[in-house]
Amino acid sequence: MPPTRAELDAARGRTLPDVLGPSLDVLFCGINPGLYSAATGHHFARPGNRFWPALHRSGFTPRLLDPGEQELLPSFGLGITNVVGRATAQAAELTPEEFREGGARLARLVAGTRPRVLAVAGVTAYRTAFGQPKAAVGPQETVIGDTAVWVLPNPSGLNAHWTLEGIAGEMRRLRESLR
């Protein structure tokens, strides 16, 4: 059952634990948890979010995973985190300072976990968090230690500029670069 209005309201400000494992190929990074994700405890959980279908269509997973199966990701060399940990109804509720602090936290997390690629799903969030105002979707010149950085389209259903196939295509391009 989907969360109730009361459960969604109670989820405001919560954080979700990162999904991590050893020897990650890609650490996917969302902007911040939405209230639906915080209420369920699963990343990219809101119906209509295209992360899980795009992940499968891109070839990263052999089948479509449900958000409740997020703990399987490390077995595929994948993980999930967020730029900002605080759950909100909309990313617009976050401050530039929270994004910058999130970028610094991500740099520390990446230095400790050493994934091959950090893939930030949201170009505006990446631009603010890492001080890269001209960044575009795709591979970045920035590296964190030995970790390459990619920017992917935000998979939220609210991001009408990108279709599911377009998002999956960018994920596929990232996956193919790992070869």
Looking up residue 83, the CATH number of its domain turns out to be 3.40.470.10
pLDDT confidence of residue 42 = 98
pLDDT confidence of residue 159 = 85
pLDDT confidence of residue 38 = 98
Contact 98, 128 (CB under 8 A): no
pLDDT of the chain, 179 residues: tens digit per residue: 899 999 999 999 999 999 999 999 999 999 999 999 999 999 999 999 999 999 999 999 999 999 999 999 999 999 999 999 999 999 999 999 999 999 999 999 999 999 999 999 999 999 999 999 999 999 999 999 999 999 999 999 888 899 999 999 999 999 999 99
Contact 52, 44 (CB under 8 A): yes
Question: 123-130 and 96-113 helices cross at what angle (nearest 10)?
Answer: 90
pTM of the model: 0.97
pLDDT confidence of residue 157 = 81
pLDDT confidence of residue 160 = 80
Residue 146 CB neighbours (<10 A): 10
- φ, ψ of residue 165 in degrees (nearest 5): -65, -35
Residue 21 CB partners (closer than 8 Å, separation 6+): 73, 74, 75, 77, 79
- How far is C-alpha 58 from the geometric centre of its chain's CA atoms? 15
Residues spanned by the domain of 85 = 5-178
- Domain count of the fold of the chain: 1
